[in-house]
Structure 1
Amino acid sequence: MRSWRISTPARSGQINTSRVTDLVVSISHDDPDALAASILKTVGDTLPVSQCTIFAYEFDARPRTVSAADHRGGRFLRDVADRYATHFYALDGNRAIVGRPQAKQAHAALVLHQQQSEEIENEAYRAACYAQPNVSDRLSLLLQPMESVWLSINLYRDSAYGMFQPGELEHVESMAHLFAHAAKSHYALNGQHHQGTAAAMLARVRRACPALTPREIDVLRGTLEGANAAEIAEQMGVKATSVITYQKRAYARLGISSQRQLFALCLQPEQS
């Protein structure tokens, strides 16, 4: 797998005017999947892509599916996205990008990340997210709409068409800034209401202790949202005993021992 930055707008490729219009309309469409469907159609005019999913990685918590589209239709792709977010996101090669602090001047940059099926070592992850959906290659456009939040526009290649080729990658690069602007606008209109007070407090905790693991952050997020161990376990796809273990580890890293102290920590003024 590999990644590279698109720091300046590439020369725009030829895009049908009606596709651009559809993309703009999809930003404020009532159907959240309209954006992914529009991107899938636009890319599909010139190269074979079978699926498009847009994830939001917010404050290092487990990703949330923002929009998804599949030529097959139905809930299939949403189910795959749910399994990925519940069980496998921490194994994704994009963690090297979305899981690390970024300099403020780098927030405007776009990053492309390519991950092929054969590069995934974990058999369960490869089976659930690549083999079963019949995917051979994934190209992700990564961008930051705001600090501590990443959006990933994922384009999936059907196994019948092999891997993305250099010329095809260049074509996606030529449309990257258009897609990025659309995704940022869509997130501003539809995404931020999902964050709420709990997400803001989670960001405070994350800044206080960068050493927290993704699973520990997931548990803290559920705790801050008022969920009990059983409810958090169901969201994460683990046992309640595992949730308690992650919670104890997180509390130890933070130097606290209770939920009350966790909330108190979140309300403390940050040192400049």
Structure 2
Amino acid sequence: MRPNGPASSPAVGDVTSTVLAIGRPDFPKVLIDTLRSQAGVGHCMVFALSRAGAASCLLDAGNIPIGGDLGAAYAGQFHQSDPNRDVLFEGEGSAPIMLPAFAPRMYGARYRKIFFGDSGIVDKCATAIWTGDTCFYVNFYRVKAQGRFGDAERQRLQAIAPAIGASVARHFQQTSTPDQTLAALFATRAPLATLTPREQEVCRRILAGFSSEAISQALGISLHSTLTYRKRAYQRLGISSQNELFSIVLGLLAGPCRLN
């Protein structure tokens, strides 16, 4: 029986590059490139909010020149007056939160001037996920040159938000999980850790988008052996498809950090 995770996952190829970049220095670049290609996001900012009241800006990437200043201002003062704050702090467990659609009237005059007037931001979407006492608040922006998000782009963001939020949370949990690579996930977290080393190697390459033939070449084994390892791994995990394997990974990324 599979561990609890997202009820459904986006197509494996949509966000796999971001998942595979967890723990790497190029994670911010991979993340914004994924968001741009999938949903036309211009800029992404990630904040960590604690139930004790502290806030910090963890990531600022994209096409807003004053993004760093905005991140510092939000973390230093404006997080207290964010109209989404109540929704964020009502969240429990590891279920992803999709924030209400952006509307300028939601914000106070000073907040609106600094974060939207001065910056050129014309639209935003956001998602959040709690891990322990920390909320990882992920914001997606569009600037004047891009115009507002279209309906299709909003739908794509909603589809990939659980995977993006889980990846962001795992990447920035540095103090409790020094090694956050996909290899570490397979090595330490059930049910992935129950697979044999060869089954893990095959599954990790499946997640990276390798074909069965490419896996065979990379590992120096026959195609028959690759298919056998895949079949055995899927049986151990209680799944039957690549998307279900991806859902297990996302469920583990979204859950609390611990070793099994």
Partner of 2:17: 21
| CA–CA distance in structure 2, aligned partners of residues 134 and 9 of structure 1 | 36
Partner of 1:175: 160
**SS at 1:160 equivalent:** coil
Going from structure 1 to structure 2, the CA distance change for 1:171 and 1:96 (only over 3 Å counts) comes to same
| CA–CA distance in structure 1, aligned partners of residues 9 and 89 of structure 2 | 30
Which aligned pairs between 1:104-253 and structure 2 lie closer than 5 A? 106-146=92-132, 148-190=133-175
Q: Which string of whole-angstrom CA distances, capped at 9 and with x for unpartnered residues, describes residues 100-150 of structure 1?
A: 4x5xxx41211111453522341110111111111112111110111x221
Deviation at 1:62, TM superposition (A): 3.3
Runs of 4+ that moved beyond 4 A = 190-193
Deviation at 1:11, TM superposition (A): 4.2
Contact 1:13 1:171 in 2 (8 A): no
Deviation at 1:177, TM superposition (A): 2.5
Contact 1:157 1:163 in 2 (8 A): yes
Give the CA RMSD over aligned residues.
2.7
Contact 2:98 2:126 in 1 (8 A): yes
| CA–CA distance in structure 2, aligned partners of residues 72 and 136 of structure 1 | 12
Structure 1: 5+ residue runs without aligned partners? 1-6, 194-272
Going from structure 1 to structure 2, the CA distance change for 1:47 and 1:21 (only over 3 Å counts) comes to closer
Deviation at 1:155, TM superposition (A): 0.5
- The answer to whether the aligner puts 1:92 opposite 2:82 as a matched pair is yes
* Count of equivalent residues: 174
Q: Which has the higher contact order (CA 8 A, sep 6+)?
A: 2
Structure 2: 5+ residue runs without aligned partners? 179-260
Partner of 1:214: none
Which aligned pairs between 1:49-88 and structure 2 lie closer than 5 A? 49-71=41-63, 76-88=66-78
Going from structure 1 to structure 2, the CA distance change for 1:167 and 1:173 (only over 3 Å counts) comes to same
Which one-letter code corresponds to 1:54 in the other structure? V
**SS at 1:108 equivalent:** coil
Contact 1:10 1:173 in 2 (8 A): no
Which one-letter code corresponds to 2:148 in the other structure? M
